[in-house]
Amino acid sequence: MKYILLMSGTKAGVEGYHAWPKQDIEAHMAVLHSINQDLTDSGEFVATQGLAEPKEAKVVRGEKNGLPVTDGIFPESKEFLLGYWIVEVPNAERAYAIAGRISAASVNMPIEVRQFATHEAKSR
Amino acid sequence: MKYILMMNTMKAGHGVPSWPKKDLQAHIAFMIGLNKELHERGELVSAEGLSFPDQAKLVHAGKDGRPVTDGVFPESKEFLAGFWIIDVDNPQRAYEIAAKASAAPGPGGVPLNMPIEVRQVMSGPPPDML
Amino acid sequence: MTKKWDATSEHLLRELAPQVLGAVARRFRDFSSAEDAVQEAMIAAFTQWPQEGIPENPRGWLIQVACRRMTDRMRSEIARRERETAVSAETENFVPLPEIEADMDPDDTLILLFMCCHPALTPSSAIALTLRAVGGLTTAEIAHAFLVPEPTMAQRISRAKQSIKDSGVPFQLPGGQDRTQRLRAVLHVLYLIFNEGYTSSAGPELRRSDLSHEAMRLTRIVHHLQPDDTEAAGLLALMLLTDARRLARTSETGELIPLAQQDRALWDRQQIAEGVALLSATLPKRSVGPYQLQAAIAAVHDEAARSEDTDWPQILALYDLLGRMSENPMVALNRAIAAALVHGAAKGLELLDALETDGRLANHHRLDAVRAHLLELAGDRTGAIGYYRRAAGKTGSLPERNYLLTQAARLSDELCD
């Protein structure tokens, strides 16, 4: 089963992270990198992505006169997706264990775990 | 350039759509058609739906390193319902695709104009984090 | 004289893979390294043969390339360990091909299947390894079929081989009682591969329907090598009878079409005939098992000219038998539907009530989906709508979710009319 593990934060949180000493940021990246490596070794890794700054985020609502209607203004408290992992594991418990590890490596911030809906139909 | 287009839903209102059948079918056909078009244009990297948020869990590491799971979220939380990852030449094209997805038809065939969040996907760690 | 590469060439190449692997593994007594070496030989063939033509002795070519890889690897291992720069006589590239070919055994493919489907492996490992070692698919092809990155799939295969090494499984056919059990494991893996391919929706997923065909091809091989095994025959029949309906199962737009509404003109009559013939030859052997029963049920469906001609009493009788053999709650669910169609919706709903307490079904969308279907049969539209929506909220499959929501919407429209 495929699960997505979501790491979110607010603009303030991201700014705080950027203010960390460089070696702490690098150490964090290194731990995440080794988690990804372990997931590849275990055959569970599907994908991981980091997303660009929340300050670049835009929300699009429909079209007007053929053009997208965009808005880049968000409340300070809004939580943005910072990055995600997609893993393929036999059950939810394993997904939670991986999420726990990512969380522990990231000042224990909570990681949201969601199951993918597959494109496959179930057999009849 | 890769972008993620995210469709969110509020838990309270995630209530499974109760539209008339032909409107539901039109919506589903629209989404399938959009993905097909993006695929044919070589812009679609992936399109995924997530299962409904009732099963969502928040996880952090407990004292002994074991994961601690929690299913309690603030009422106002938006949940990711699905996303597209597209690979396009510029942000304008990303917004165009998002606008199209946003305008998917709903009840009565009226465009839903649901908010689609557009974010650029980094190919490596964000440069200024290195 | 070399043969030109054409549509059947890839098929030939993949057929040779397990034969080559058997030969090389037997010679070097190292399944894991041999498997890597054969994979490399396959990739070399895929690259060179389309351009240079197929060699005179394609199997010999593959064996030689694989052996060369093995000796190269061994040589660098030795050199690394002993820091020798000179090449010793024992590690020449020359490989006595006729000797190797003489040792080959028609059972090698079966031995490989037993190894790759060893019960010590997880289903996903067994599937990956079987497709590579016996199916002759490349890691990239398997990764693509399962929608994971190639390095991930390579690791799954690597770990599977390590498990096999650790379990000390010898390169030989299992004996007696063990053989029966191990054969069950093989059939189970093939069944899983078939399902992976069969349940994919339409669209740019051609690779996945190839998975079903791959499963059928491998099952045919098992049936051919173990002609007396009735469950192997039953599984092949089940696959033929199920795959026969493939084209009718999804609409142009990818929507799921249930059996009752499928356009039967799209069913593959030849495959149905083959499945029925196989079943007819097998059932009289009186060693009936779950695959044969499932195949028999599929045959009853496939032989009905129209949905309304379906012999539901026979299907119910078959589910009664299957229910006695199988603990699978899905069987009980399907039986409830059959019972409803024979004895009325109330009877089916009664059977469902008994299943409500089955822990394995708790929170499973199918229980709600079946209840919705039976409530609809009973004329309780409002109840049915509620359960269709509940099921839609629980299913992990997008096409199924869409289908369930559409049923609810259909009934809801009727209520409003």
Q: Is position A67 within any domain?
A: yes
Rounded Cα–Cα distance for residues A43 and C154 (Å): 8
8 Å CB contact of A103 and B70: no
Q: Cα separation of A33 and C109, whole Å?
A: 40
What is the pLDDT, as a whole number, of residue C64? 94
User: Is any Cβ of chain B less than 8 angstroms from the Cβ of A29?
Assistant: yes
**Average pLDDT taken over every residue of chain C:** 88
Instruction: Specify whether the CB–CB gap between C301 and C314 falls below 8 A.
Output: no
* CB nearest C398 (choices: A47, A118, A123): A118
Answer for the pair C336, C374: CB distance below 8 angstroms, yes or no.
Answer: yes
Q: How confident is the model at residue C66 (pLDDT cuts 50, 70, 90)?
A: very high
Asked if B29 reaches chain A (Cβ–Cβ under 8 Å), the answer is no
* Cβ–Cβ contact A59 with B under 8 A: yes
Contact predicate C219/C190, CB 8 Å: yes
The torsion angles phi and psi of C94, rounded to 5 degrees, stand at -60, 130
Q: Indicate if the pLDDT at residue C336 is higher than 60.
A: yes
Look at residue B125 and tell me whether its pLDDT is greater than 60: no
Answer whether residue A32 is part of any domain.
yes
CB atoms within 10 A of CB B16: 15
Instruction: Say whether A43 and C147 touch across the interface (CB within 8 A).
Output: no
Q: From the candidates C147, C256, C301, C368, which should be mutated to test the interface with A, based on the most A CB atoms within 10 A? A: C147
- Whole-number mean pLDDT of chain B? 84
Give domain limits for chain C: 1-104, 311-417
pLDDT score for B15: 57
**CB contacts, 8 Å: B81 with chain A:** none
Q: What total number of domains does chain A contain?
A: 1
pLDDT at B11: 63
Question: What does the buried/exposed string (b/e) look like for C300-310 if buried means 16 or more CB atoms within 10 Å of the residue's CB?
Answer: bbbeeeeeeeb
Is ipTM strictly over 0.85? no
C-alpha–C-alpha distance, residues A49 and A85, integer Å:
7
Contact residues on chain C for B49, CB-CB shorter than 8 A: 398, 401
Model pLDDT for residues C153-212, shown as the tens digit of each residue:
999 999 999 999 998 888 888 888 888 899 999 999 999 999 888 766 433 344 466 889
Q: How far apart are CA C58 and CA C42, in angstroms?
A: 11
pLDDT band of residue C380 (cuts 50, 70, 90) is: very high
pLDDT band at C94 (very low <50, low <70, confident <90, very high): low
pLDDT of residue C104: 82
In B, which residues are within 8 Å of A101 by CB distance? 61, 67
Q: Which of A65-79, C255-269, C391-405 has the lowest mean pLDDT?
A: A65-79
Model pLDDT, residue C5: 80
Residue B41's DSSP bridge partners are none
Q: Taking the domain C311-417, which CATH number applies?
A: 1.25.40.10
Report if residue A124 sits inside a domain.
Answer: no
Query: The domain that contains A83 carries what CATH number?
Result: 3.30.70.1060
Considering only alpha carbons, which residue of chain A is nearest residue C259?
Answer: A124
Residue C3 amino acid letter? K
SS3 at position B114: coil
Q: Is the Cβ pair A81, B70 closer than 8 Å?
A: no
Closest CA to C114 of C70, C64, C175, C72: C175
* pLDDT tens-digit readout, A6-61: 999 888 888 888 888 888 888 888 999 999 999 999 999 999 988 877 777 888 88
Mean pLDDT for C337-350 is 96
The DSSP result for C68-102, as a single string, is HHHHHHHHHHHHHHH---SPPGGG-S---HHHHHH
For residues B5 and B84, is the Cβ–Cβ distance under 8 A? yes
pLDDT value of residue C84:
55
Pick the closest to residue B27 from B18, B15, B38, B39 (CA basis): B18
Q: Which of C371, C370, C390 is nearest to C258 (CA)?
A: C370
More confident residue, C235 or A51: C235
Question: Is the CB of residue C109 less than 8 Å from the CB of residue C152?
Answer: no
Tokens standing for residue A94: 């394993």
Q: Which of B7, B24, B38 to mutate to test the interface with C (most CBs of C within 10 A)?
A: B24
* Residue B70 burial (CB count, 10 A): 11
Q: Kindly list the distances between the CA atom of residue B45 and the CA atoms of B1, B3, B38, B83, B101, in Å, as whole numbers in the listed order.
A: 11, 10, 9, 11, 15
Confidence at residue C202, expressed as pLDDT on a 0 to 100 scale = 37
Q: Say whether pLDDT at C93 is over 60.
A: no
Mutate to test the interface with A, among C152, C245, C249 (most CBs of A within 10 A): C152
Min distance A68 CA to chain B CA atoms (Å): 5
The count of C-alpha atoms lying within 13 angstroms of the C-alpha of A1, restricted to the half-sphere facing its C-beta, is 20
How confident is the model at residue B12, as a pLDDT? 54
Range with the lowest mean pLDDT among B9-18, C70-79, C218-227? B9-18
Residue C399: closest C-alpha in chain A: A121
**Within a domain: residue A31?**
yes
Mean pLDDT of all residues in B57-81: 84
- Put simply, whether A115 touches C (Cβ < 8 Å) is yes
Q: What is the pLDDT of residue C86?
A: 55
Interface check for B119 against chain C (CB to CB < 8 A): the answer is: no
Closest in A46, A119, A123 to C198, CB measured: A123
Averaged pLDDT, B72-83: 83
Average pLDDT value over all residues in chain A: 86
Contacts of A93 (CB under 8 A, 6+ apart): none
pLDDT of B55 above 60: yes
Q: How confident is the model at residue C359 (pLDDT cuts 50, 70, 90)?
A: confident
Whether A123 is covered by a domain: the verdict is no
Taking the Cβ of residue C254 and every Cβ of chain B, the question of whether any pair is shorter than 8 Å is answered with: yes
What does the pLDDT read at residue C209? 64
- Write out pLDDT tens, residues C192-202: 999 888 766 43
Share of chain A above pLDDT 90, in %: 40
Of all residues in chain C, what percent carry a pLDDT higher than 70?
A: 93
Bridge partners (DSSP) of residue B48 are B83
Which pLDDT score, from 0 to 100, does residue C207 have?
Answer: 46
DSSP code, position A94: H
- Structural domain harbouring A32: 2-115
Q: How far is CA B15 from CA B9, B112, C393, in A?
A: 10, 16, 8
Nearest CB to B80; choose among A6, A25, A60: A6
What band does A124 get if pLDDT is binned at 50, 70 and 90?
Answer: very low
Residues in Cβ contact with A27 at an 8 Å cutoff, skipping those fewer than 6 apart: none
In sequence order, the 6+-apart residues with CB closer than 8 A to the CB of A119 are C200, C201, C203, C205, C397, C398, C399
Burial classification of residue C386, based on how many CB atoms lie within 10 Å of its CB (0-12 exposed, 13-18 middle, 19 or more buried)? middle
Once rounded to an integer, what is the mean pLDDT over residues C36-65? 93
* Residues C322 and C297 sit within 8 Å (Cβ to Cβ): yes
Confidence of residue C302 (pLDDT cuts 50, 70, 90): very high
pLDDT at C4 exceeding the cut of 70: yes
pLDDT band at C236 (very low <50, low <70, confident <90, very high): very high
